[in-house]
Amino acid sequence: MTITQPYPAHLSAASAAHSWFEAALAALDGIDDTAYGVVLIGPMGKVRVVNRAARLLLATYFRISAREGDVLPDELNAWLAEQLRVPLPGRPSQPYTTAHGSRRLTVRLFRHHGSAALLISESGGEGPTPIGGPGLTPRESDVLWLVANGRTSAQAAQVLRISVRTVEKHLGNIYAKLGVSNRTEASLRVFGASTGHARPDLTPAG
C-alpha cells in the first residue's frame, strides 16, 4: 500500500496532540489541590478529565459538578461552542466570566490541534480563593467548601459521590480539627466572609 503525504502529516499532528494531552494530564495532577480547576474536553464537547477544584467551582456557580463523560453546564457549553467556531490560528479566545457577590469565576480556553482544555479560577480583590483549609484533608476541604457555599449534606454527597453519612463524618472531623461546633463556625474559620457567592436558590445547610 502506498502511503500518501497527508497520512504521515496526520500522524504527526495526532502525535503532537497526544503529547500535549499527556502534558496536560501531568499538569492536572500537579495542581489538583490548588484553587485552579482544569477540565480537558474530548469529542462532542464532553468532559474527558476534570480535577477536584473544577468540580467544586462548577458545583458552586452552576449547581452542576461536571464528571467524566458529562457535558458542561449550558452557559459554558454555549460559550465554548462559540469560541471553537474560530479556526486555529485565529483571534484569541475570550474568557467566560460570571460573578456572585464580590467573587468572580473566570474560565479560559486553551486549544492545541483538536484538543481543548479549560482553566477555571475564582478571584476577588485579593486573588484566587484557596479550596482547602488548615490541617484538613482534601476530602474534608471539599465538604467544607460545598457546605460553606450553601450546600446541604445531601447535596454535597451527590457532588462528591459519597454517602450523606460520610459527609457528616467528615464534618465531625472538621469541627474537631478546627475547634468549632457547627458548619457555620467552620466556614467562617477557614473562609471568613469570602463565601458570599452561594446561589440564593440553594437550600442553606442547617
Write out pLDDT tens, residues 111-162: 876 678 888 888 764 444 445 556 888 888 888 888 888 888 998 888 888 8
* CA–CA gap between residue 77 and residue 89 (Å, rounded): 21
Same structural domain, 98 and 45: yes
Same structural domain, 112 and 156: no
Same structural domain, 37 and 60: yes
Closest alpha carbon to 17 in 159, 117, 139: 117
Number of domains in the chain: 2
Q: Where are the alpha helices (DSSP H) in the chain?
A: 6-30, 52-62, 74-84, 138-148, 153-160, 164-178, 183-191
In a domain, 36, yes or no: yes
Same structural domain, 118 and 138: no
- What is the phi-psi region of residue 21: left when phi exceeds 0, alpha when psi lies from -120 to 50, beta otherwise? alpha
Q: Is the sign of the CA dihedral 194, 47, 92, 21 positive or negative?
A: positive
pTM over 0.75: no
Q: Is the sign of the CA dihedral 109, 54, 60, 121 positive or negative?
A: negative
Residue type, 119: L
The boundaries of the domain holding residue 89 are 13-127
* CA–CA gap between residue 88 and residue 50 (Å, rounded): 24
Same structural domain, 153 and 67: no
Same structural domain, 26 and 120: yes
pLDDT digits (tens, 9 = 90+) for 79-103: 998 888 877 666 667 899 998 767 7
Q: What is the pLDDT of residue 203?
A: 33
- What number of CA atoms fall less than 13 Å from residue 84's CA on the CB side? 19
Same structural domain, 141 and 112: no
Same structural domain, 115 and 149: no
| Contact (Cβ atoms closer than 8 angstroms) between residue 128 and residue 36 | yes
What is the average per-residue pLDDT within 27-53?
A: 73
User: Which range, 17-31, 111-125, 187-201, has the best average confidence (pLDDT)?
Assistant: 111-125
Q: Which three cell numbers stand for residue 69?
A: 463523560
In a domain, 5, yes or no: no
Same structural domain, 103 and 146: no
Q: Where are the alpha helices (DSSP H) in 41-129?
A: 52-62, 74-84
Burial (CB count <10 Å: 0-12, 13-18, 19+), residue 65 = buried
